């Protein structure tokens, strides 16, 4: 799967994804089949089998997932924009030192203080969940497990798929702003993105699928203004932008501090419209639109646009892989924080 999308036709990729979908659905509907069948990259994706388990909290905090879900539901009901924000927060956490909740640490020079993190939201949701869990299961559930689960529940509440999550992530004690330098900001080349994803144990398919999270949520106009007025120093707009969309964005993004929906058509619906938008040259970020112009990613984007069930299924797979990214340093020297924004002393 490392080179999927290179030299494959859209029809071939649709067939490949259909097989994955059929196998996973069959396994979920048949317990005996589920036990005997190993679906590639489904549940034991990444290299976390020895560190993560589905039974970690079975005896120590049995209702952990129920508590997290109810809290996320409570917050998202009050502010639906928190759903995509929690997914993004989770990605930014896993992109640096693995999924160790280092993004949550709030101190001078932390990842959270970096420029790329300024627009991140959802910290108060995680803190609220942690406070509730400390009442029910003191010093038991890690903030890293909370954030990973909250991102899953946010996806479900936004209309997206559900997936099972193994637990046992440790909370890291180190968080450095300088380490966020490699996290994608939306201006990278496809090659740079592929290399970044591969460095995390993810592949081209994961890149295209996880980019589909942009089916919901917003971006700051600061992230796209260069495409509207001075693309690559030309003092002209990005020629790949649909002219009507360009006019729309120029009206919406007069100020860098404003925000604009990532999906201009169905902004609050978790669907495949994101991929359909790319065909019409109305991808918001440069990295979005480039997915449909690069031969390594275009066939995958094409395939995902045809069938929502394929996208939903593969999104679950890729999110499991993302959530299972672990850094040996955080796991070996990590802890279970009592408060998510500070290390234990």
For the purposes of burial, counting CB atoms within 10 Å of the CB of 326, is it exposed (0-12), middle (13-18) or buried (19 or more)? buried
Region at 41 (left for phi over 0; alpha for psi -120 to 50; beta for the rest)? left
92 flagged as catalytic:
yes
Is 155 annotated as contributing to ligand binding? no
| CA of residue 333 relative to chain centroid, distance | 25
DSSP state of 117: G
Whole-angstrom distance, CA of residue 95 vs CA of residue 100 = 10
DSSP state of 110: S
Is 271 annotated as contributing to ligand binding? yes
Q: Which of 92, 112, 152, 227 is catalytic?
A: 92
Is 79 annotated as contributing to ligand binding? no
Is 100 annotated as contributing to ligand binding? yes
Is 214 annotated as contributing to ligand binding? yes
Is 74 annotated as contributing to ligand binding? no
Is 107 annotated as contributing to ligand binding? no
Is 96 annotated as contributing to ligand binding? yes
Is 102 annotated as contributing to ligand binding? yes
Query: Which pairs with CB-CB distance under 8 Å and at least 24 residues apart come from 83-86?
Result: 83/154, 83/155, 83/157, 83/158, 83/216, 83/217, 84/154, 84/158, 84/213, 84/216, 84/217, 84/218, 84/262, 85/120, 85/121, 85/122, 85/154, 85/217, 86/122, 86/125, 86/147, 86/150, 86/151, 86/154
Rg value, the chain, Cα: 20
Closest CA to 137 of 336, 330, 341, 324: 336
- The binding site for Ca(2+) comprises 93, 96, 98, 100, 102, 111, 215, 263, 266, 271
- The binding site for substrate comprises 184
- The binding site comprises 93, 96, 98, 100, 102, 111, 184, 214-215, 263, 266, 271
Which residues does the annotation mark as catalytic?
92
């Amino acid at each position: 799967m490392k080179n999927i999308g290179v030299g494959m036709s859209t029809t071939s990729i649709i067939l490949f994804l259909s097989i994955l979908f059929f196998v996973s659905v069959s396994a979920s509907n048949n317990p005996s089949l589920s036990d005997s069948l190993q679906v590639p990259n489904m549940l034991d994706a990444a290299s976390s089998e020895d560190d993560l388990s589905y039974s970690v909290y079975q005896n120590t905090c049995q209702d952990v997932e129920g508590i997290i879900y109810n809290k996320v539901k409570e917050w998202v009901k009050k502010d639906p924009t928190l759903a995509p924000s929690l997914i993004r927060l989770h990605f930014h956490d896993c992109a640096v030192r693995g999924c160790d909740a280092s993004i949550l640490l709030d101190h001078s020079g932390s990842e959270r203080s970096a420029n790329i993190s300024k627009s991140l939201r959802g910290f108060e949701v995680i803190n609220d969940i942690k406070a509730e869990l400390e009442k029910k299961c003191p010093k038991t559930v890690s903030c890293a497990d909370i954030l990973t689960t909250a991102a899953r529940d946010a996806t479900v509440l936004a209309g997206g798929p559900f997936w099972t999550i193994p637990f046992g992530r440790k909370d890291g004690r180190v968080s450095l702003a300088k380490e966020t330098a490699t996290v994608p900001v939306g201006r990278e080349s496809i090659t740079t993105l592929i290399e970044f994803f591969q460095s995390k144990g993810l592949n081209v398919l994961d890149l295209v699928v996880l980019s589909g999270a942009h089916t919901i949520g917003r971006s700051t106009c600061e992230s796209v203004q260069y495409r509207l007025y001075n693309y690559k120093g030309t003092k002209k707009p990005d020629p790949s932008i649909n002219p009507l969309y360009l006019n729309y964005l120029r009206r919406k993004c007069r100020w860098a501090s404003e925000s604009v929906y990532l999906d201009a058509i169905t902004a609050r619906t978790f669907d495949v419209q994101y991929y359909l938008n790319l065909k019409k040259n109305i991808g918001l970020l440069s990295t979005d639109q480039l997915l449909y112009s690069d031969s390594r990613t275009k066939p995958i984007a094409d395939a995902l646009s045809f069938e929502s069930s394929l996208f939903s299924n593969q999104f679950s797979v890729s999110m499991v892989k993302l959530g299972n990214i672990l850094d040996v340093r955080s796991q070996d020297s990590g802890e279970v924080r009592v408060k998510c924004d500070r290390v234990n002393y």
